[in-house]
Structure 1
Amino acid sequence: MRDNNIPCTKTLYNLLWNGDLPVTPFQLPEALSRRQHGKPRISKRLNGKSIDLRPAEVAKRVQFGHWESDTVLGRKKKVEPATFTIVERLTRYYLTIRISGKTAQGVANAMRQLYHEFGKNLEIRTITTDNGSEFAAFSEMEAYGTQVYFAHPYSSWERPVNERSNRILRRFIPKGKSMRNYTDDQILMFSDEINAMPRKRLSYRTPEELFEEYLDQIYKI
Structure 2
Amino acid sequence: MVKLFPAGTRTRFVDLVCSGGGLRVSAASLGASVNTATQWWQQSGGMALSAPRSVVGGVADPAPGGGVEGGRALTLAERAMIQFGRRKGLSYAEIGREIGRNKSVVWREVHRNTSLDGVYYASVAHTKAHQARHRPKRLKLVDNAALCELIEVWMDDGWSPKLISAMLAHYFDGDETMQVSHETIYHALYVQTRGELRADLAKSLSTKRTKRVPHSTDRKSNSPYKDALKISQRPAEVADRAVPGHWEGDLIIGGGDDSSAIGTLVERSTRFTILLHLPGPHTADEVATAMIREMRHLPDHLRRSVTWDRGTELADYERIQLALDTKLYFCDPHSPWQRGTNENTNRLLRFWFEKGSNLSGHTADDLARVAAKLNRRPRPTLGLETPANRLAQLLTAAQTTGVA
Shared fold per TM-score greater than 0.5: yes
CA–CA distance in structure 1, aligned partners of residues 309 and 184 of structure 2: 23
In structure 2, which of residues 338, 362, 367 is the aligned counterpart of residue 187 of structure 1?
367
2:307 is aligned with 1:128: yes
The residue that corresponds to 2:331 in the other structure is 151
In structure 2, which of residues 266, 270, 276 is the aligned counterpart of residue 87 of structure 1?
266
1:133 to 1:12, Cα distance in 2 relative to 1, 3 A: farther
**In the TM superposition, what whole-angstrom CA distance separates every residue of 1:165-200 from its partner, at most 9, and x where no partner exists?**
111110001011101332221112111111011011
Counting aligned pairs with the same residue, the percent is 29
**In the TM superposition, what whole-angstrom CA distance separates every residue of 1:118-177 from its partner, at most 9, and x where no partner exists?**
252772000001110101112322212101100112111110111111111100010111
1:134 to 1:12, Cα distance in 2 relative to 1, 3 A: farther
Q: Matches of residues 106-125 of structure 1 in structure 2 within 5 Å?
A: 106-116=286-296, 118-120=297-299, 123-125=302-304
1:13 to 1:135, Cα distance in 2 relative to 1, 3 A: farther
What's the offset of the Cα at 1:80? Answer: 3.5
What's the offset of the Cα at 1:88? Answer: 0.3
1:122 to 1:69, Cα distance in 2 relative to 1, 3 A: farther
- For the residue of structure 2 that corresponds to 1:72, the secondary structure is strand
1:91 to 1:135, Cα distance in 2 relative to 1, 3 A: same
The residue that corresponds to 2:321 in the other structure is 142
What's the offset of the Cα at 1:7? Answer: 8.5
2:390 is aligned with 1:206: no
1:82 to 1:27, Cα distance in 2 relative to 1, 3 A: closer
**Structure 2 residues without counterparts, runs of 5 or longer:** 1-59, 62-130, 141-164, 167-179, 192-201, 209-216
**Structure 1 residues without counterparts, runs of 5 or longer:** 29-41
CA contact (8 A) 2:248 2:265 kept: yes
The residue that corresponds to 1:67 in the other structure is 247
The residue that corresponds to 1:33 in the other structure is none
The residue that corresponds to 2:25 in the other structure is none
CA contact (8 A) 1:81 1:101 kept: yes
Structure with higher strand content: 1
What's the offset of the Cα at 1:81? Answer: 3.0
CA–CA distance in structure 2, aligned partners of residues 69 and 195 of structure 1: 16
- For the residue of structure 2 that corresponds to 1:175, the secondary structure is coil
What's the offset of the Cα at 1:98? Answer: 1.6
Which amino acid in structure 1 is aligned with residue 309 of structure 2?
A: D
In structure 2, which of residues 269, 285, 305 is the aligned counterpart of residue 105 of structure 1?
285
1:76 to 1:15, Cα distance in 2 relative to 1, 3 A: farther
CA contact (8 A) 2:256 2:357 kept: no
**In the TM superposition, what whole-angstrom CA distance separates every residue of 1:14-33 from its partner, at most 9, and x where no partner exists?**
899xxxx989x9549xxxxx
CA contact (8 A) 1:84 1:98 kept: yes
CA–CA distance in structure 1, aligned partners of residues 139 and 244 of structure 2: 49
CA–CA distance in structure 2, aligned partners of residues 50 and 14 of structure 1: 28
CA contact (8 A) 1:97 1:188 kept: no
CA–CA distance in structure 2, aligned partners of residues 208 and 104 of structure 1: 29
- For the residue of structure 1 that corresponds to 2:229, the secondary structure is coil
1:67 to 1:7, Cα distance in 2 relative to 1, 3 A: farther
Q: RMSD in angstroms over aligned alpha carbons?
A: 3.1
1:201 to 1:115, Cα distance in 2 relative to 1, 3 A: closer
1:66 to 1:171, Cα distance in 2 relative to 1, 3 A: same
1:152 to 1:6, Cα distance in 2 relative to 1, 3 A: farther
What's the offset of the Cα at 1:63? Answer: 0.6
CA contact (8 A) 1:121 1:215 kept: no
What's the offset of the Cα at 1:114? Answer: 1.3
CA–CA distance in structure 2, aligned partners of residues 181 and 201 of structure 1: 32
- For the residue of structure 2 that corresponds to 1:97, the secondary structure is strand
Q: Which has the higher contact order (CA 8 A, sep 6+)?
A: 1
The residue that corresponds to 1:51 in the other structure is 231
Which amino acid in structure 1 is aligned with residue 269 of structure 2?
A: L
